[in-house]
Structure formats: C-alpha cells, structure tokens
Structure 1
Amino acid sequence: MTALIEIEGLTRKFGSFTAVDDVTFSVARGEVVGFLGPNGAGKSTTMRMLAGFMLPSAGTARICGQDIVEKPIAAKRELGFLPEGAPTYPEMSVIDFLSFCARIRGFRGSEMDDRVAIAMSRTQLDGVRLQPIETLSKGFKRRVGLAQALLHSPPVLVLDEPTDGLDPNQKHEVRELIREMAPEKAIIISTHILEEVAAVCTRAIIIARGRVLADATPAELVRDGRSMDDVFRALTLGEAA
C-alpha cells in the first residue's frame, strides 16, 4: 500500500523541553490510525507539525509525497485538518463560515455551494446552517470544524479529538462517517477515548513523553486477554507491558 502520510524523525523542542522526540510512522490509503496518549504526550504538537501549522525542530513529514516544510501549500491542498478546539470565526453563521472556507480552497459558484451543502449534510448541520457559530453547543461547533475539513474531499484527514463534546448518538454518526470515508483516505485520529480506537481504527499508535511506545493493530495490543485500557496504562506509566 502506498503511504499518503510519511513522518520521519519528527521532533519539536521548546527551549530545553522536548515535546515530540524522533517520531516516525506512515499511514497508507485505507488505514485509520488512532493516535493515543495522555495529556501532554505530544499528540497535538505532532498533528500541528504534520498539518504545517508548526515547524519541526528536526525531521519532516510528507502528505501525498509533498514535504510539509519544502512544499507547504501543495501539502495542505491534500489535507483536511480538524485542530484541537476546532477554531472558527464565532460571529459568522455556519453556512457563511463554510462558504468562506470553500472560497479559500478555490471553489466558486455552484461548485462552492455544492461542496458546502454536502459537508453540512454529512455532518448533520443543516438544521443550524443560519445560526452564528458562537450560539452553538460544543458538539455542534466540533461538527462545524469537521465539515470544513471535509469540504475539498482531501485524500488525507488529520482529526484531533473529532468526537469531543458530542453526545453518544452524534459520536456514533461521526464514527460511521469515518468508516464510510476510510477506504479512500489515510486518516489519523487523535483521541484519549480508548473505545474509539476499537470502534473505527485499523491501527493504534501510543505516544507518551513525546516518544512512540507502540504501533500495532488493536487486536495485537490486546493479546493475552488484556484490555486496551490495561495496555495504555502499562505503556504510558512505564510499567511492564
């Protein structure tokens, strides 16, 4: 399988503190990788570097063969990114914000309208399309962020906590959407919800203290009757796995 995401030796330092330490992995089309770790493990920093929002101190990453440092615009064209907190322009309505994002992506006229309509439909936003984003619940704001990531049908999705703030039914809908998209895309999902990994991921990467501790399928991680929670706790607390 051809890797659409390639991360090699990715490192980020803040002064004397190393937030991400020599992280290397790849993700092929059809894979959904759960990126797991405790708070402060380096998940969001890794994803920001992969998305080109933060320069690495060392190493690099490629999206569909485009280097994020050498060819950042070309790399971002292939990427849909849902960042931590799903930042938006809160005073804009949902449809105005998504139309703005579509124009930035280069869409105009009926194509822009179609892209926005499809993204809203896939994320169940039609009912709040005219509401200012600042009036929405946390779950709806998260869905607005997901919709903007899907607008241009990118081959690579990097989603930081995509179900954060959603109720159980909404979580199920988002997970079904990810399963539906998975065969044609390479997807990374940062999460601290272990059940999410079992529900939608084909691989799990566990990171702590900035370093990758495990990279395996969920089934391989829970061998010998251990739960995902047992494996996660053992690895991230430095116990014998």
Structure 2
Amino acid sequence: MNYAKPKPRYLIPLRLAIYSSALFAVVHLHAEQGKLTVAISTDMPPYVMDSGSQGLEVDIVRQALEGYELNFVQMPLSDVQNAVQDKKADVAIGVLMNGGDIFYSDHLVTFVNFAITKKSDDIAIDSIDDLKTHPVLTWQNAYLELGDEFQTLFAPGAEYRSNYHEFGDQAKQVAQFWKADKQVIVIDRSIFEFFSKAMKQSSDSVEYHSIFPPVTEFKASFKDKAVKDTFNKKLKEMCQNGKYVKLLEMYDVELEATVCDKLPQ
C-alpha cells in the first residue's frame, strides 16, 4: 500500500505567508482603486470655492462619487480640459468632449453666460459681432466654448484677437472689469455676481446682454469607464430624488433649465 509522504511542516507557514501577502496585495489594490485624483478649476464661486473644498461642482462630484476617496487638485481651466489625457488626474470636472482615449460623463453642470457692460459706458451689444471693437474679458479657452461666431472673431490668429483677454483666475477677471471703463466682460452670471458682491460692486449698475446660447453645459472626463458609469448613475439618481436641485438652491444658482432635464431616461 502506498502512503503519501507527509508535507514538511515548514511549508505550511510558508504557504500561509504567501497567501497572506497575496491577500494584502489584493486589498491594497482595491484601496488604491478607491482613491481618485480629481482635476478641478481654480476658485470660481459659487461653483468652486475655498481652495476647492466646497462649491456646487465640488458637492455634485462628492455625491456622485460617494464611496471613493477624492483628492481635488485645482488647476487653470486650460489644464483641466486635458488633465486626464495628460495623466495628471483620474477625473476632470467641467470639460468639453475633445476625443482621446478617455470616457465622458453626461452633462453635470450648466453655466449661463452673458456679455456684461457698465450702464455708464452706454455700449450697445446686440450681437456677438458687436464685441469685436471692445476689450473683451473672458475665462481661459472661452473662444472654444461660445460658438462658431465667437471663435471666428477671437481664436488665436483671428483678426480681433488683440481685443480678447483671457483670465485663469475669474476673480481677477471681474476685478479688471470694475477697474476700467469701456470693457465687456463675458462670464457666467452667478460667478460675476458673487465676485462683484465680494468687491462691494452693485450688479444694478450693469447691463446683461444675452447674445450667447441660453446655456453652456460641461461634462466630466474619466480614465476608467466603470467610474464614469457609476458617476452617471448617481447623477441621474440625484436628479430624480431632488438632491441636484437642492444643491442649486444652496448655492443660489438660478436656472430656467438644468442638466437634469436632458439626462437620458
């Protein structure tokens, strides 16, 4: 009769050690996968505030990615657009689709942009074409986001580019508007009013010229499709249960229509 040789006792703890190491590696991997670096703009209240620690965009992302450990990294808007492609972040908030081997969410936030002038300047702005003879103050890459006619006037190399001035910091953009006369600021109304109030300037002294599309909507970009799918699912739930509208109310953002109205059913 053949008997199996008993395995040396020292192999048992060795196998346990190998198993424990493998288990630790798997747990560690899942822990790392639960951490996300999120690229977000520099402060532009009420969307991003207090060095990226709060704001409408920040809270939307926190709720939509609940369960993940999020590390928000602020950078200029021009860098946010390509942060995932450039491997600077796992997620980038407030971007437009521009291809690349990445994944885009449904629209998550809406901006309502106006051309704004001081009433005392008495500048008539009835169309985008009326902007070309005035200093125009915008955010970074605005020429890519406000339609073909605006881009034709102010893209790099365009005829009226010298009248076009971009700001990475929208507080400085608003400050420059209040500093000098005969300028036109192109900006989201909520951002403009927030900074103007902080600077003790009254929005009653300005004219809002509605010459752009009713809203400009932005997405999030993702390195991982599964994370993007989770985000979309949660965002839809926030729309359905009223949490999205509550965030708008909390940050005093008034919209005639929200991204929730366009989410796929």
Same fold (TM over 0.5): no
**How does the TM-score come out when normalised to structure 1?**
0.27
**How does the TM-score come out when normalised to structure 2?**
0.25
Q: Which has the larger radius of gyration?
A: 2
